[in-house]
Amino acid sequence: MSVVQSKLLRTIADITFADAETNNLKRENANINSNTAMGMMLQYGSAVSKYFCQTHLLSEPFSQAHHNGDIHIHDLDFMNMGTLTCCQIDLPKLFDGGFSTGHGFLREPNDILSYAALAAIAIQSNQNDQHGGQSIPYFDYALADGIRKTFRKSYMTHLRRALSILSDADDQQLAEQLSGWLAVMEAESGHKLQLELSEPYTQYERAALRDQLGLEEAAARKAQQFAYKEAYQETDGKAFQAMEAFIHNLNTMHSRAGAQVPFSSINFGTDTSVEGRMVSRNLLLALERGLGNGETAIFPIVIFKVKDGVNFQPQDANYDLFQLSCKVSAKRLFPNFSFLDAPFNKKHYVQGRPETEAAYMGCRTRVLDNIAGDPVVIGRGNLSFTTINLPRLGIKHGLLSEHGGDLRPFYRELDQSIDLVIAQLLERMKLQASKKVKNFPFLMGQHIWRGSERLDAEDSIAEVIAQGTLTLGFIGLAECLKALTGEHHGESDAAQQLGLEIVTHMRKRMDLAASYYHLNFSLIATPAEGLSGRFTAMDREAYGVIEGVTDREYYTNSFHIPVYYKLSAYEKLQKEAPYHELCNGGHISYVELDGDPSRNLEAFEAIVRAMQQAGIGYGSINHPIDRDPVCGYSGVIEGHICPGCGRSEQTGSVKFERIRRITGYLVGTLERFNNAKRAEVNDRIKHT
């Protein structure tokens, strides 16, 4: 029996007999409950699939580099299926005329409740054709039509109610007279009935109520006012119900391989129409209320798009939504904040075209630049990504060599690793390109992916996947710098300069590959969850315990300043901001706060403003959210005593819920974190 086969059998034995509480393997993905039947089945499949891919699909150099820990091929267990990673779903395109999930046709939605329900169904359906996250790039614009349709129907219902009281006509006569009323009024007035009432429309309708139904001017005006007021309130109420149901669906429907809820994200905040604003406001209010017993929603990842002139200044139309986003985030950890005025996002922005607004998905993925077509977000995503072990290169060419400041050997091996990853990404893309539309019946068959509307069921997807990105990732820049220079980039300007040079070098290599292959090669700041401890353990075994490098259970996330290093929030953002522009395939920066930030919303907003001013592309603010499920208290629980009811969690079987962010998403209990991530959370210091 080979070493790999032996390891596979040990893995299967661990999945079968071990408890997730004590077995780190079963906590590799905190979004899966590996003690359940379907959770175990998913891990069985993953283990066997990884084994097959390493032994039968990957070329030997790639398999060996992954096995040795020089690189990490993400989602290797899905390589043999040829799945793409993630996608930004264009809901208006999907909803137009209706769509099919494979088990029946769904008609085009006609009210906000249906819009929200079908949005959740679209995310769930697409999730089963991909191994990564699902995102909606402009949720407010996409669902605004649902608000319009709901309001129009409600207005006519309440207008008829008012007329049944104010006019002499009976119900039968009113039904006949108002049949087709709205279409006629709009056609003849040249204006639409909408939440933001048009005076020409109301004047024309009022005249028709006088002339055709014999109402006095005052009665006609009263009927309109009643209909508008009731319709507005009813639509607003339905909008809240729709957003609440949407959030509940995405937290309760275990439709991802039978063991997970979809890994979902939604971007919103820039639609200034009355309808779009109603979507955004009610989404935030539903998020603030929480789930059935007040729990914080884990999904979707909610991302508020910050744009000067739209929602960032007090005079901006959506400034109230920005303030509400800060309030809700201070309570629920979401929304995160993306910044459309960051130079690398702003250059693509076209006013009035939301598809040109930068949108993020999952933990940080960004897909916007496009060498193969228009720089838009809709219908595009990542194909696959692979991460380089930067700390190992730092150890080999820093601590273990007498480089004397000559880093050419370091860059030579870095280039060799980059060459290897480029070749590996292309090999995987070749396998992906061999798949047909019928292999992905929703993603390709329902034309979610950009360009797939040109293809038939038996067609290869090769020509359209060039719209996606092939991405190089990196982990542990801080540990790499520590090994090379004795300091990380939070400790000295010299280390920061070297860090920027290293990441700039990787980005230039990706740009060169993009030009050479005419494919969207990009660089991502790797969101390491299971990987955070894998490289570290291997390097500690090979090189021993090295202070500041291998002396912890984890490597620092991408370009981040180490979580244990003390500095202010402003300093951290200033240090990390330049890396956002370099990492065009995805990036994020976090600030850690102590206590309950909802008690000081001005300070919370000031941090978001500091992100915008620093040039951050995507940022988030972490703070503790604890909840006692017995009494329902939600807030910060220091130690083991609930401030709400005074009970101790040590004396009962019901533990407090302690929600924390693991990479980009939330986890409802620290017990789901793997060992490396637990250690990282414990090391996190608070930024002042």
Structure-block tokens of residue 498: 């070297």
The β-bridge relationship of strands 134-136 and 87-88 is: parallel
CA atoms within 13 A on the CB side of 385: 32
Q: What is the per-residue pLDDT across 266-316, written as a single tens digit (0 to 9) for each?
A: 999 999 999 999 999 999 999 999 999 888 999 999 999 999 999 999 999
pLDDT-derived band at 4 (thresholds 50, 70, 90) equals low
Alpha-carbon distances, residue 468 vs 76, 386, 402, 548 (angstroms): 18, 15, 42, 37
Question: In this structure, are residues 685 and 664 in contact, taking their beta carbons and an 8 Å threshold?
Answer: no
Residue 423 has pLDDT above 80, yes or no: yes
User: pLDDT band at residue 618, thresholds of 50, 70 and 90?
Assistant: very high
Farthest-apart Cα atoms in the chain, separation: 99
CB neighbourhood size of 67 (10 A): 15
The two beta strands, 589-592 and 634-635, are: unpaired
Q: Which residue has the higher pLDDT, 145 or 682?
A: 145
Environment class of 472 (CB within 10 Å of its CB; exposed 0-12, middle 13-18, buried 19+): buried
Please tell me the distance from the alpha carbon of residue 337 to that of residue 221, in angstroms, as a whole number.
44
Q: What percent of the chain has pLDDT over 70?
A: 93
DSSP string, 267-321: EE----SHHHHHHHHHHHHHHHH-STTSPPP--SEEEEEE-TTTTSSTTSTTHHH
C-alpha to C-alpha distance for 356 and 376, rounded to whole angstroms: 5
Whole-number Å distance between alpha carbons of 486 and 547: 9
Q: How far apart are CA 132 and CA 211, in angstroms?
A: 60
Task: Map tokens 């006692």 to a residue.
Answer: 628
230 has pLDDT over 70: yes
What mean pLDDT value characterizes the chain? 92
**In the structure, what pLDDT confidence band is assigned to residue 346 with cuts at 50, 70 and 90?**
very high
Question: What's the average model confidence in pLDDT over 658-671?
Answer: 73
58-85+362-587 CATH pick, 3.40.50.300, 3.60.10.10, 3.20.70.20, 1.10.1060.10: 3.20.70.20
The Cα–Cα gap between 665 and 303 comes to 12
- Distance CA(116)–CA(350), nearest Å, equals 27
pLDDT of residue 257: 63
Question: What distance in Å separates the CA atoms of residue 631 and residue 644, rounded to the nearest whole number?
Answer: 7
Highest mean pLDDT among 105-119, 168-182, 666-680: 105-119
Instruction: List, for residues 81-107, the tens digit of each pLDDT value.
Output: 999 999 999 999 999 999 999 888 999
Q: How confident is the model at residue 430 (pLDDT cuts 50, 70, 90)?
A: very high
The confidence score (pLDDT) of residue 32 equals: 63
Which helix (H) or strand (E) is 152 found in, with range? helix 139-166
What is the structure's pLDDT at 27?
52
What ranges make up the beta strands (E) of 476-558? 520-525
Q: Which of 412, 358, 409 is CA-nearest to residue 619?
A: 358
Q: Which amino acid makes up residue 410?
A: F
pLDDT at 26: 47
pLDDT value of position 25: 58
Residue 127's SS3 state is helix
pLDDT at 653: 82
Contact indicator for 513, 523 with CB cutoff of 8 Å: no
Count the helix, strand and coil residues of the chain and give each as a percent rounded to the nearest 5: 50, 10, 40
E strand residue ranges, 457-586: 469-475, 520-525
Burial 445-454 (b: 16+ CB within 10 A, else e): bbbbbbbbee
300: preceding bond cis by omega (within 30 degrees): yes
Cα(149)–Cα(143) distance, integer angstroms:
10
Pairing of strands 657-661, 625-627: antiparallel
Rounded to whole angstroms, how far apart are CA atoms 169 and 84? 61
Q: Do 248 and 119 form a contact (C-beta atoms < 8 A)?
A: no
- Evaluate if residue 449 carries a pLDDT over 90: yes
Q: What is the pLDDT of residue 90?
A: 98
Alpha carbon distance 682, 676 (integer Å) = 10
Six-digit token string for 15: 């999945």
* Domain chopping of the chain, boundaries: 1-56, 58-85+362-587, 87-139+236-361, 147-233, 624-672
For 106, 231, 277, 379, 444, the CA distances from 109, given in Å and listed in that order, are: 8, 19, 20, 20, 21
The mean per-residue pLDDT over the stretch 177-199 comes to 89
Residue 685 pLDDT? 80
- The string of pLDDT tens digits covering residues 400-410 is 666 667 899 99
pLDDT of 520 over the 90 cut: yes
DSSP 8-class letter at 355: G
Closest CA to 629 of 594, 668, 599: 668
pLDDT at 173: 79
SS3 386: strand
Exposure string over 610-633, b if 16+ CB within 10 A, otherwise e: bbbebbbbbbbbbbbbbbbeeeeb
Can you give the C-alpha Rg of the chain in angstroms? 27
What's the N-to-C CA distance of the chain in angstroms?
55
